[in-house]
Amino acid sequence: MTDLYEAMSTLRAVRRLRPDPIPAEVLERVLQAACWAPTGGNMQPWRVIVVRSDERKAKLQAVYEPEWQNYTAANRARLEQAPLGADRDKLARTLAAGDHLAANLAQAPVILMFCANPKFMAITDAHLDRISMVGGGSVYTAVQNTMLACREEGLGCTLTTLHCIQESKVLEALEIPEGWATLAMVPIGYPVGRGHGSITRQPPSALAFDDAFGVPWT
Amino acid sequence: MTDLYEAMSTLRAVRRLRPDPIPAEVLERVLQAACWAPTGGNMQPWRVIVVRSDERKAKLQAVYEPEWQNYTAANRARLEQAPLGADRDKLARTLAAGDHLAANLAQAPVILMFCANPKFMAITDAHLDRISMVGGGSVYTAVQNTMLACREEGLGCTLTTLHCIQESKVLEALEIPEGWATLAMVPIGYPVGRGHGSITRQPPSALAFDDAFGVPWT
């Protein structure tokens, strides 16, 4: 087994997936990892749909692909005007990988759709004069466990949320009943290329503060 | 190092923490784990305040303790009327541990306060006719990594969000500027008792569905 820190530090978005099936016992371990995650009041208010049929995967792609094109339109314009160099190359590679995923989503062997019902959550920021985000606290812990388990099992994956823009179509495609929301779509499969590996992240000195906001952590 | 699945399957809420200080290199590894988490567009729109001063920890306790009492009032009433037995004992133990945390929050050596700014996020469910939850997707991945790292380092921890009910007081106490929200408060420290260990969770057969919502996963 990979150790914990190695798994975390090499968990990258893998967007080129082979259509090869995932053995049942591997998938079961990934789902078990999701189930271990903590949730508010241990309510486990989420469910995950393991989407495997060609028909339903195609419906998800029909939602996702145009939203990906919309979402990345500005990046594409920026790319055309960017000077040649490493930044441009990186942006171009990321866009190409995302384009590949959008055009081939239905070929992923499995698409995990995480749903949750806010009725089973105490959403403590629901009354505030800002957008609520706390509901995610009982779902994305499970999503992160899922992705770390994929890393462990050699499965590529990436967390996407663009499908929410057309959530009603997703609810219909997967027969999700009223009251349930969709929070994450995670296509998984064995990688075409090397899969997981090095990641680019800001370090604690950039993201942590000492005792009060804005005080550098050194 | 603990392997990934062992860490996940023994990550429990640890609410009795010793005041002993956390060595700098241990804390740094925990913060590094947070930084490795994936976020939408790799924007890393969150920051974490490492609250260590007695003054600010006391202010957080002054917010948290009454909210904990409010939140658990119904459970307390239920407990008084519950028949003697294992369920009652478990509820009583959980309440007692939570009471201990609420009454001793300021004695934890470190309280991590995770903040995020929705301006740096594409919140794809913001327009829907339901409460938004997707903003949490770029924050609770980091919170889960943090807690798994605590497990790895032998530090107790638990994810709490009750402080959000009085968020304005938290913003003031930690000098958090306008535009930033607080999503998770994670007190950490070495455990009084055995710390992490067995957890009670529903299995994949209860939480996963096969291809469509409600179809049992077997």
Residues of chain B contacting residue A203, judged by C-beta atoms under 8 Å apart: 32, 35
Query: Choosing among B1, B2, B6, B8, which should be mutated to test the A contact, i.e. which has the most A CBs within 10 A?
Result: B8
Would you say B215 and B44 are in contact if contact means Cβ atoms under 8 Å apart? no
Would you say B45 and B117 are in contact if contact means Cβ atoms under 8 Å apart? yes
**Whole-prediction pTM:** 0.97
Would you say B201 and A150 are in contact if contact means Cβ atoms under 8 Å apart? no
What DSSP element (H or E) covers A86?
A: helix A86-104
Q: What is the percent of chain A where pLDDT is above 90?
A: 89
Among B residues 102-161, those touching chain A with beta carbons less than 8 Å apart? 115-116, 118, 122-128, 130-137, 139-141, 143-145, 147-149, 152, 158-159, 161
DSSP A20: P
- The whole-chain average pLDDT of chain A stands at 96
Q: Nearest Cα to A183, choosing from A169, A163, A168?
A: A163
Burial of B200 (0-12, 13-18, 19+ CB in 10 A): exposed
What DSSP element (H or E) covers B110?
A: strand B110-116
Q: For B175-212, how does the pLDDT look when each residue is reduced to its tens digit (9 = 90+)?
A: 999 999 999 999 999 999 999 999 999 999 999 999 99
Q: For A119-168, how does the pLDDT look when each residue is reduced to its tens digit (9 = 90+)?
A: 999 999 999 999 999 999 999 999 999 999 999 999 999 999 999 999 99
Instruction: Please tell me the distance from the alpha carbon of residue A117 to that of residue A44, in angstroms, as a whole number.
Output: 10
Q: Report the pLDDT value the prediction gives residue A80, as an integer from 0 to 100.
A: 86
Instruction: Identify the structural domains of chain B with CATH numbers, from first to last.
Output: 4-207 (3.40.109.10)
- Nearest chain B alpha carbon to A165: B124
Query: Does B213 sit within 8 Å of A49, measured CB to CB?
Result: yes
DSSP A2: -
What DSSP element (H or E) covers B157?
A: strand B156-157
Would you say B179 and B169 are in contact if contact means Cβ atoms under 8 Å apart? no
Instruction: Please tell me the distance from the alpha carbon of residue A38 to that of residue B9, in angstroms, as a whole number.
Output: 10
Beta carbons within 10 angstroms of residue A60's beta carbon: 22
Instruction: Please tell me the distance from the alpha carbon of residue B123 to that of residue A71, in angstroms, as a whole number.
Output: 12
Q: Report the pLDDT value the prediction gives residue A1, as an integer from 0 to 100.
A: 57
ipTM value greater than 0.90? yes
Give the SS3 label for residue B114.
strand
Query: Does A5 sit within 8 Å of B4, measured CB to CB?
Result: no
Give residue B1's pLDDT band: very low, low, confident or very high (50, 70, 90). Answer: low
Residue A183 has pLDDT above 70, yes or no: yes
- The whole-chain average pLDDT of chain B stands at 96
Beta carbons within 10 angstroms of residue A129's beta carbon: 6
